[in-house]
Structure 1
Amino acid sequence: MYYSSAEHYVKPEDMNAMDRILRVNQRIDFPLREGDILKSGSHGAQVTCLADSCRWPRAVDGFVYVPYIISRQYEDMDRITIETGMLDISSATCVKFVPRTHEPNFLNIESRTGCWSYLGMTGGSQTLSLQSPGCMWSGVAAHQLMHALGFVHEQSRSDRDYHISILWENIPEDQRDNFRKYETNNLNTAYDYSSVMHYGRYAFSEDGGPTIIPKPDPYIPMGQRDGPSLTDIHKINILYNCD
């Protein structure tokens, strides 16, 4: 599968998390939705994850524990990067990533080809791929962890047309499905240009022209790579009923 990525149009130091993800995922030869979401058998047609069936369960103490295993193939610095992405979420929400002991449902974090995740909890051993070294940004790790928690990309929101314009003429026909808009529950939050879940300006560009333009100010930066924005954190807290 070929992705027109931002690598030829955006300086490496200006790439956001999704720019980097699309660059790494160019070599993937299996289908991904929106560039980095893997379909599962149980949730194959699922485009949003706001039901209890795909949220990680809340424990009696009020926290949401997400067990994980990190592959031994990672070097120490890779583990630190991944765990930083976890900490950026767990330090400000009731979602706590914990090493797996015996739990039946858990994230199995491996360095496979590309950066991708399933959407929400799928049950059993749930692979989340963070290829080393390509995906080794803490913001990329946080992006995939938010998919695993049930969050889609920001520009997929139902109200996105009030905040961005999609330049369809700059997107190859076989990639336009990556810009679908869904009937999402936006959790009473404002559209967030700075979300770590937002596409970059040139995502899936066919010829170097922009594919997304913000409104009303076309120069507003979109996305970033440092980790979840304040609104990202707020949405996690709302979805998981954190106190």
Structure 2
Amino acid sequence: MCLKFINRIYSKRSLGRLVRCTERKIKKDDMPVSTIIQSNKHADIAVSTGFKNADPCTARECKWERSTDGLVYVPYVISNQYSPDELKVIERGLWSFVDVSCIRFVPHEGQRHFLYIKSHSGCYSYLGRQGGGQVVSLKRPGCVYHRTVQHELLHALGFHHEQNRSDRDKHIKILFENIKPAQRHNFMRRETNNLATPYDYKSVMHYSRKAFSRNNEPTMIPIPDRNVVIGEARSMSRNDILRINRLYCRTLNLY
């Protein structure tokens, strides 16, 4: 039986149960990172005027505000471009945060800051709260999959790609010679806030082994074990969920 997060304190064992419950809900609408990257020609972090995607999302204005009840409400609007089945996939992605965190994506009702989910040019999101209405693009076809919805929503909450972590050189080797020149910036190391969590090859935020390859050769290799699978996540990992709670949710006893 899946637990519900209603402002409660959970142990690490309970969090593991929540993750497993979430994973069991995954259906045919999933697509791994490797397939998404192959279908997306551009980076999936948008950059607004005066805001660089190299900057860590640590400033107060970058985070969504926590309410007095301990929950973080993120308003959203979904474009009418989507079919009923696509809408169900998007809504399931939004609701997947309820079981495992204090994040609540709620329909927009006049709030100043909100997400505008629409079918634009590819799969992308801005990094963290930008102010006003900000686009989360889930292009149809190609981007409306459960893991992609989660991936872009995590960007909107302020999370970078896993392979951009400040400690990534201890866990992965980037092969810049195999990367398309216009996409090399996607593989630069960032000064990230890792929230005392380990590097996670299973993160839904991790690129695949041949992401943005110019010659069908690997653009990154796990170290020391080069055979570790990367970029195949179909939903948020335990560490993805732990980071959300450490950044936003004070009511969880996870430290």
Q: The TM-score by the shorter chain falls in which range?
A: 0.7 to 0.9
**Cα distance in 1 for residues equivalent to 2:143 and 2:98:** 20
Of stretches 207-216 and 60-69 in structure 1, the one that deviates more from structure 2 is 207-216
Of stretches 37-46 and 114-123 in structure 1, the one that deviates more from structure 2 is 37-46
Question: What is the 5 A alignment of 1:33-112?
Answer: 35-44=43-52, 46-112=54-120
Contact in 1 for aligned 2:209/2:219 (Cα 8 Å): yes
Question: Quick one: percent identity of the two aligned structures?
Answer: 48
Contact in 2 for aligned 1:56/1:121 (Cα 8 Å): yes
**Cα distance in 2 for residues equivalent to 1:45 and 1:192:** 21
Give me the TM-score of the superposition, normalised by structure 1: 0.86
For residue 59 of structure 1, what is the amino acid of its counterpart?
A: S
Equivalent position SS for 1:90? coil
Equivalent position SS for 1:89? coil
Contact in 2 for aligned 1:140/1:225 (Cα 8 Å): no
Name 1:119's counterpart in structure 2: 127
**Cα distance in 1 for residues equivalent to 2:61 and 2:47:** 15
Contact in 1 for aligned 2:75/2:105 (Cα 8 Å): yes
Name 1:239's counterpart in structure 2: 247
Name 1:24's counterpart in structure 2: 39
Kindly state the Cα deviation for residue 112 of structure 1 after the two structures are TM-superposed: 1.2
State the Cα RMSD in Å.
Answer: 1.7
For residue 37 of structure 2, what is the amino acid of its counterpart?
A: L
Contact in 2 for aligned 1:24/1:115 (Cα 8 Å): no
Name 1:229's counterpart in structure 2: 237
Aligned length: 222
Contact in 1 for aligned 2:112/2:133 (Cα 8 Å): yes
Contact in 1 for aligned 2:57/2:159 (Cα 8 Å): yes
Kindly state the Cα deviation for residue 145 of structure 1 after the two structures are TM-superposed: 0.2
**Cα distance in 1 for residues equivalent to 2:144 and 2:31:** 13
Name 1:145's counterpart in structure 2: 153
Which whole-Å deviations, capped at 9, do the CAs of 1:72-108 have from their partners, x for residues lacking one? Answer: 1211111111112112222200011001111111001
Kindly state the Cα deviation for residue 242 of structure 1 after the two structures are TM-superposed: 3.5
Contact in 1 for aligned 2:166/2:189 (Cα 8 Å): yes
Q: 4+ residue stretches of structure 1 with deviation over 4 A?
A: none
Kindly state the Cα deviation for residue 44 of structure 1 after the two structures are TM-superposed: 3.5
Residues 174 and 102 of structure 1, relative CA distance in 2, 3 Å threshold? closer
Name 2:24's counterpart in structure 1: none
Residues 159 and 97 of structure 1, relative CA distance in 2, 3 Å threshold? same
Give me the TM-score of the superposition, normalised by structure 2: 0.83
